[in-house]
Amino acid sequence: MSEKCPDHSADRFPVGRPTGTERMDVSYVANGWLTFDLLLLVTTIGAVVRGSDAH
């Protein structure tokens, strides 16, 4: 009985093993930063274009 308890807990909570949800979270965060960078780039280009048009 005492030997089965650690095995079950290890199966329920795998330590050091990347699960599917963790990979999805990492990719989701990476995509969020990517879209944020693209928006920042677009706004920067837009500001430069407006400045050049004004001059």
Mean pLDDT by 10 residues, the chain (55 residues): 51 56 69 87 92 74
Residue 55: helix, strand or coil by DSSP?
Answer: coil
- Give the model's pLDDT for residue 26: 72
Number of domains in the chain: 1
- Residue 12 lies inside a defined structural domain of this protein: no
The reported pLDDT for the residue numbered 14 is: 53
Residues 38, 44, 48: CA angle, nearest 5 degrees: 145
Contacts by residues 37-44 (CB-CB < 8 Å, ≥ 24 positions apart): none
Domain membership of residue 40 (yes or no) is: yes
> What pLDDT is recorded for position 12?
55
* Residue 44 dihedral angles phi and psi, to the nearest 5°: -65, -45
In this structure, is residue 36 part of a structural domain?
Answer: yes
Indicate whether 9 belongs to any domain: no
Residue 45 lies in a domain: yes
Q: Tell me if 10 is assigned to some domain.
A: no
The C-alpha atoms of residue 7 and residue 40 are separated, in whole angstroms, by 49
Q: Is residue 6 part of a domain?
A: no
Task: List the domain range (segments joined by +) for residue 37.
Answer: 19-55
For position 35, what pLDDT does the model report?
87
